[in-house]
């Protein structure tokens, strides 16, 4: 009730976005927002590069499940807290951690949003009580917000399988194969 009073133009629904508390960092939460039919991708990307959007802008065609992003975000927060990030910011580290390789520029090409994308998955890491930041970002996207759980409808499964070099036996558990390769890239 109060949310509708303060934010009448925004419909907050647990179905439209996903917010997860990080177990190892209980003061931090990860929120994922998914949009399709995005008309201002170039503007969003420019704003993110200039620091006007404090979030990771991800190409959802390479995402199998929101859990994949949660794993990458958790690792990024951990590396940020220990001062061992390989990239310059927490949000670029999330994008980098989605990749199965150690090539940072390749990770941005494959997982980062491009100017021509028509869909975007936005990932925010914030304190639990912060909602204004999320509201500001939602207002900047010229597109239709859809439930994060629908990300698999936007997944290019063939590209994902090729990038992560999965085997036919892993087709039934693609998410497991992807997360395993993300987690082990530093030791291979």
CA separation for the pair 5, 17 (Å, rounded): 19
Whole-number percent of the chain with pLDDT over 90? 81
pLDDT tens-digit series, residues 122-163: 999 999 878 778 889 999 999 999 999 999 999 999 999 999
9-20 mean pLDDT: 61
The whole-angstrom separation of Cα 132 and Cα 83 is 27
Q: Does domain 17-184 have CATH number 3.30.2380.10?
A: yes
In tens, the pLDDT along 78-134 reads 999 999 999 999 999 999 999 999 999 999 999 999 999 999 999 999 998 787 788
| Burial (Cβ within 10 Å: 0-12, 13-18, ≥19) of residue 172 | exposed
pTM of the model: 0.89
pLDDT at 29 over 80: yes
- Where in the chain are the domains? 17-184
> Quick check: 13 pLDDT over 70?
no
């Amino acid at each position: 009730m109060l949310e509708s009073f303060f934010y009448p133009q925004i419909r907050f629904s647990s179905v439209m976005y996903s917010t997860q508390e990080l177990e190892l960092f209980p003061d931090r939460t990860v929120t994922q927002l998914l949009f399709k039919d995005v008309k201002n991708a170039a503007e969003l990307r420019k704003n993110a590069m200039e620091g006007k959007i404090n979030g990771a802008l991800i190409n959802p065609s390479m995402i199998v499940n929101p859990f994949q992003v949660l794993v990458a975000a958790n690792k990024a927060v951990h590396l940020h807290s220990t001062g061992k990030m390989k990239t310059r910011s927490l949000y670029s580290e999330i994008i980098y951690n989605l990749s199965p390789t150690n090539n940072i520029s390749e990770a941005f090409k494959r997982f980062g949003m491009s100017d021509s994308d028509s869909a975007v998955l936005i990932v925010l890491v914030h304190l639990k009580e912060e909602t204004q930041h999320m509201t500001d970002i939602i207002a900047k996207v010229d597109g239709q917000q859809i439930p994060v759980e629908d990300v698999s409808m936007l997944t290019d499964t063939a590209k994902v399988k090729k990038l992560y070099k999965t085997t036919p036996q892993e087709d039934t558990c693609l998410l497991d194969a992807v997360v395993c390769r993300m987690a082990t890239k530093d030791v291979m």
